């Protein structure tokens, strides 16, 4: 998975009382401008998913958290988008 596939939810699960939607980025973050736009589009897809009937049927009792897991460190521009959207950056 990657932000290039911005129309796909990479993973949805429950953990520790949260509905956790995860973005997996296995590709490089270069070019950063292009990846930034792709990440924004992916986050919009996640936002639409949270409002969907499918999400409501499975996760309506849980608050939602979006996480991003990346093979490479996140560039500052990507970190700024994550902060703006409240995305949790997983580094484990």
Q: Is a pLDDT exceeding 70 seen at residue 1?
A: no
Domain ranges (residues) in the chain = 11-90
Distances from the Cα of 83 to the Cα of 58, 60, 73, 74, angstroms: 27, 24, 15, 12
Which residues are CB-neighbours of 46 under 8 A, at least 6 positions away? 9, 21, 23, 66
Q: What is the pTM of this model?
A: 0.92
Strands across the sheet containing 11-15: 11-15, 18-25, 64-70, 88-90
Condensed to tens digits (0 to 9), the pLDDT of residues 15-51 reads 999 999 999 999 999 999 999 999 999 999 999 999 9
């Amino acid at each position: 998975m990657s932000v290039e596939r911005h129309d796909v939810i990479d993973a949805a699960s429950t953990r520790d009382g949260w509905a956790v939607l995860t973005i997996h980025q296995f590709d490089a973050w270069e070019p950063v401008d292009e990846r930034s736009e792709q990440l924004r589009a992916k986050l919009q897809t996640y936002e639409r998913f949270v409002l969907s009937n499918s999400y409501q049927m499975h996760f309506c009792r849980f608050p939602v958290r979006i996480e991003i897991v990346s093979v490479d460190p996140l560039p500052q521009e990507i970190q700024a988008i994550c902060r703006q959207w409240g995305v949790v950056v997983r580094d484990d």
